[in-house]
Amino acid sequence: MSQLRVQVSTNWHEFSASRTEWGDLLNCCRDVTVFQTYEWYAAWWKAFGQNHRLMLLSARDGKRLVGIAPLMTTRTPSRRTRIAFIGGEHAD
């Protein structure tokens, strides 16, 4: 049995490099909506991500991608860091 490994990516280049694997992962899932696709998250990030910091979590079993969490961090008015899903307040 292999160990699950989680990688944190914080820059756009690493985010865009996951596009193919992300699509392959969704092809294995039932009931996928557009709101789970790389394309939707990429479009949202380009339109609204300027005041946030990217934090993409990728879970791997060996080399195979088995989970992904498209997150962002934001500073609150009280100077705390808030973690949320990309588009969380402005999406379905």
- Quick: pLDDT tens for 59-69: 999 989 999 99
Supply the pLDDT for residue 24: 94
Contacts of 23 (CB under 8 A, 6+ apart): 37, 38
Contacts of 47 (CB under 8 A, 6+ apart): none
Q: What is the pTM of this model?
A: 0.83
Find out whether 10 and 49 touch, Cβ atoms under 8 Å. no
Position 26 pLDDT exceeds 70: yes
Q: How far is CA 81 from CA 72, 75, 76, 77, in A?
A: 10, 5, 6, 10
